[in-house]
Homo-oligomer: A and B are copies of this chain.
């Protein structure tokens, strides 16, 4: 008998029919003798519906009340799923975040979990109940309802698995695992049986979004065995996320090719090369709540330097405006930009112990005539910025160059 935490997203519980399907799947695990805790999101569309209602009343909605409003979405789902489980003859009991209770800080709309009381859930599990918990939500120490922010249901699943010392946390999504790259771009893309925690982090933050980053971090911190599976496929074993490199002795050097089309770059030309210049440029950008991704600074000749960084494409115009506003102050000659770029990355813990990954990457791109505009590296990934129009080509040739189409 194992204790399994399963998390189902909004699409998986998007209709009464789908909720019944989830109940069938849960029942299968229960029949095998396992204890099951199910974490669910709001039915797909529901959160958007509630946000629209709020904005009609208060264009810039109060965060505390927004959390009161949005938390109803998951509360509807836990009740419906519990009913569906009972209809199959199982014992089931729903819990809101406050009922569990999942104690968070008071940062409405982006609260962090501080503590989980597991006694009541444990008693219900021991009494043979399926425990159905509302994802995404908690309660602060004063009893205010909080939410963990969008996608926070993954984090709830992992946090419950950690608190209950579950044998496995299964995240059901609309994809059946983590792939070497996006199968829509490279038809030979393969599902990875395992991927390390760190690779997963890089893959997620680079656009291969399967899991919320915070939930993966959380799983790493508490050593939760995390598996990504499809809720629409009964057979697949998904992808297991591992936290010990030793688990992966057969590890390929490179696990996958991640990419991101939503980037734009901004270059500040001819700024005086003096201490504090990076802060003078990026300070106003940060003050405008614009997240910066890659940053590159080249030392120039005549005492000036060129400074380039990337932002989300949606914030490109805003970032340009901010910088034009401070151009005179920082003494820049010119500010230019390009929002038709893309970022492509090779990711793999194997590169730590293997030389030549970068040169293989750069040679492969050069052979196709793809110019590299920016380069950024970490211990387990190499990212390049290229012209957006070469994105698919770059991903395909890199996938082949690192033999990702072949089983390791």
Contact = CB atoms under 8 A, between A and B. Distances in A.
A334 interface: no
A53 interface: yes
Contacts of A96: 68, 145
Contacts of A16: 53, 56-57
A82 B56 CA distance: 13
A22 to B, nearest CB: 11
B72 A58 contact: no
Interface string A185-201: 00000000000000000
Interface string A54-81: 1011110110111011011001101110
B80 A53 contact: yes
A61 B109 CA distance: 32
A372 to B, nearest CB: 49
Contact of A83 (B54, B76, B93): B54
A54 B99 CA distance: 21
Nearest to A144: B99
A57 B76 contact: no
B57 A87 contact: yes
A282 interface: no
B65 A69 contact: no
Count this chain's copies in the assembly.
2
Contacts of A83: 54, 57-58, 61-62, 65-66
A27 to B, nearest CB: 14
Nearest to A16: B56
Interface string A33-62: 000000000000000001001101111011
A86 B58 CA distance: 8
Interface residues of A, number: 38
Given A65-B83, A68-B78, A19 B98 contact: no
A143 interface: yes
B53 A65 contact: no
Nearest to A72: B72
A84 B55 CA distance: 10
Given A65-B79, A65-B82, A99-B143, A87 B72 contact: no
A38 to B, nearest CB: 13
A381 to B, nearest CB: 42
Contacts of A106: none
Nearest to A83: B58
A84 B72 contact: no
A94 interface: yes
A106 B204 CA distance: 45
Interface in A138-194: 143-145
Contacts of A53: 16, 76, 80
A96 B97 CA distance: 14
Nearest to A134: B68
Interface in A221-255: none
Contact of A76 (B56, B69, B145): B69
A17 B65 CA distance: 18
A20 interface: yes
A87 to B, nearest CB: 5
A118 to B, nearest CB: 15
A16 B123 CA distance: 42
11 contacts: A20-B57, A53-B76, A58-B84, A58-B87, A62-B83, A64-B93, A66-B79, A68-B79, A69-B76, A98-B98, A99-B145
Interface of A: 16-17, 19-20, 50, 53-54, 56-59, 61-62, 64-66, 68-69, 71-72, 75-76, 78-80, 82-84, 86-87, 93-94, 96, 98-99, 143-145
5 smallest CB-CB distances across A and B, nearest first, come from: A69-B79, A16-B56, A58-B83, A72-B72, A68-B79
